[in-house]
Structure 1
Amino acid sequence: MVRMLSTVLMDAREIASGIGEIQSASEEQSRSVSHITDSVVKITAVVQSNSATAQAKVLSTLANQFT
C-alpha cells in the first residue's frame, strides 16, 4: 500500500512538472504572438503611409497636366 501511494505521489509530481512546462511554453508563445501582432501593425502603418504618398504623387502629376 505504501509503495502504491509512493508511486502515485511520484506520478503526480511528474504530471505537475509537465503542466509547469506547458504553462511556460504557452506564456512564451503568447509573448511571441504579441510581438508578431505588433510587427504586423507597424508594417500595415508603413504600407498605408507609402500608399498615401504614392497616391498624392499621382494626383499631383495629374493636376500638373491641367495647369
Structure 2
Amino acid sequence: MGPRWPPPCSTSRGGRSTPSSSVANDGVVGVRDSKNPNAILEFAPTEWAAFTGGVRDGEFDL
C-alpha cells in the first residue's frame, strides 16, 4: 500500500497551490503540490528530520 495523502484543503487559497506530505511504511516522506499531485518529492527520514529541525530552529528566512 502506498502513502496516504490527506484530502485537499477545503479552504480556498485564492487558486494557490497547497503542499501536502505523507510518510510511507519505510519512513520515506513524500511531498507534493495540490496542483500537480503526480510530481512527488521524496526525502529520507534523516533528510526530513534535518529540514523540519531547520524550520523549527528558524534557519530559513521566510
Q: Same fold (TM over 0.5)?
A: no
More helix by share: 1
More strand by share: 2
Larger radius of gyration: 1
User: Which bin holds the TM-score, normalised by the shorter protein?
Assistant: under 0.3
Higher-RCO chain (CA-CA 8 Å, sequence separation at least 6): 2
